[in-house]
């Protein structure tokens, strides 16, 4: 009986996590996708309120280039205080004056946190 109760409790927790909407890695993926799409509303919606100004600056840095996202895959990599650490694979390709450059997503740790009941991008570590 006790094992059954433990299983029901674990199932309830899993269902609650699914019902809460996005995950920390999905929030970072949404942010990066919005940056590449140059969608300022989506960038702000994917950002923590404390990151919004930085998000606007980051979005502005892509104004003169044509970006594309390739091989994006993010995963949780631990915690740091209230933040979930997220690492990503893939790259942003940018074309400027017919010159292609690749910006790898590896090597940067993203900070995600719950803000307004949703996971959002809150910066880098």
Delimit the domains of the chain by residue range: 22-124
Q: Per-residue pLDDT averaged across 41-57, rounded?
A: 96
Q: What is the pLDDT of residue 21?
A: 56
Domain covering 22-124: architecture: Roll (3.10)
The whole model's pTM is what? 0.81
- Least confident range from 16-20, 48-52, 67-71: namely 16-20
Residue 9 has pLDDT above 50, yes or no: no
By DSSP bridging, strand 83-96 and strand 118-124 are unpaired
Q: What is the pLDDT of residue 111?
A: 98
CA–CA distance, 45 with 34 (Å, rounded to integer):
9
**Would you call 97 exposed, middle or buried from its count of C-beta atoms within 10 A (0-12, 13-18, 19+)?**
exposed
User: What share of the chain has pLDDT > 90, as a percent?
Assistant: 78
């Amino acid at each position: 009986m006790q094992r059954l109760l433990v299983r029901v409790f674990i199932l309830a927790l899993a269902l609650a996590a699914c019902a809460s909407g996005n995950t920390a890695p999905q929030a970072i993926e949404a942010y990066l996708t919005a940056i590449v799409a140059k969608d300022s509303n989506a960038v702000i919606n994917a950002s923590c309120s404390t990151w919004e100004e930085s998000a606007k600056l980051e979005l502005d840095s892509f104004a003169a280039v044509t970006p594309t996202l390739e091989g994006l895959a993010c995963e949780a990599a631990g915690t740091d205080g209230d933040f979930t650490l997220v690492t990503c694979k893939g790259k942003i390709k940018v074309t400027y004056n017919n010159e292609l450059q690749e910006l790898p997503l590896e090597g940067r740790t993203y900070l995600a946190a719950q803000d307004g009941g949703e996971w959002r991008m809150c910066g880098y570590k």
